[in-house]
Amino acid sequence: MSNDEKEKILVADDDLTSRLILTSALKKWNYEPISVTNGKEALEILSQPDSPQIAILDWVMPEIDGIEVVKEVRSMKKEVPPYIIMLTTKTEKEDLMAGLEAGADDYICKPFDNKELWARIKVGIRTINLHRTLVKAQKALEYEALHDPLTGVLNRRGILERLEEEIERGYRKGYQICVAMFDLDHFKKINDTYGHQTGDEVLKGFVKILQNHTRPYDSIGRLGGEEFLLIVPEISESEAILILEKLLNEIRKSPIYTHNNELKITTSIGGIIINGKLNVDKVIKLVDESLYQAKERGRNQLIFHGAIEND
């Protein structure tokens, strides 16, 4: 959430006076209240992807009571679960324990003191912000674990996982997948002649060419060194050949600008079409064999093999 965006807080209470007091206080504290009059409406709002992260729920409400709302919300798989404060006239420990055990984070007894409510909401905001920070950090770690830090595309682990997913999806939905392996020709010579900084810039420039001439839902990954894998789902054999030939020519003719040189490069490509459910290791072996043939035949060319059926 951006710094200038108000925190939304759901207020669910069938009592008009209580609801007006709550919404007025929340506006005064610079929050954005969203008010409803029953548990069913509260549950509908909390079920939405962009639902408020703080909820103040009356225990006793029409349609669905607050406890049932809490139970339903806690059964949902939410990236950041909402912080729920129960409003109640119940003061017995057994009742309060039941509310907390159902999944409520806190409770406040009616009639409530505004200062106490404010303090409890602040605790909720701190808790939600901590959850948001943890989720953001987890996503960053997951991204780093699956992406190549130099080029920004998927790393070996990431592209092989994507290949497995695409094979499974293609098998279920009945479409073919093109898998192609690229190897930059004579890349060692670039490093030896111009240095590794230039070599890194060439790799990034090469990836940019691939990205500029593939679809957003195609997948590019760096297997290691100067070898890259391209996955093109939902494509015919003839279309796959046209795409790979176009990439071969674009790489051949497109200059790559480095910090002190403008370089032209070429690549060898091995490609296959898979039609069915194949083992990932087998797919990589087959496409690697195609790439090897392209390199053996003089590099700067495409070797493509037609549809490979199920194992």
Q: Which residues are catalytic?
A: 226
Q: How far apart are the C-alpha atoms of 153 and 171, rounded to whole Å?
A: 25
Q: Tell me the pairing of strands 54-58 and 83-88.
A: parallel
3-state secondary structure of 106: strand
CB 85 within 8 A of CB 106: yes
**Helix (H) or strand (E) run with residue 302 in it:** strand 302-308
- Runs of H (alpha helix) within 86-236: 93-102, 114-146, 156-173, 187-194, 196-212
Q: How far apart are the C-alpha atoms of 212 and 215, rounded to whole Å?
A: 8
Q: Tell me the pairing of strands 256-257 and 267-274.
A: unpaired
| Site of tokens 């037609």 | 306
Which residues lie closer than 8 Å to 92 by C-beta, 6 or more apart? none
CB 249 within 8 A of CB 242: no
- Angle (CA) 182-187-190 rounded to 5° is 150
Which residues lie closer than 8 Å to 199 by C-beta, 6 or more apart? 187, 190, 191
Q: How far apart are the C-alpha atoms of 169 and 155, rounded to whole Å?
A: 21
Strand partners, 36: 12
Q: What is the CA radius of gyration of the chain?
A: 29
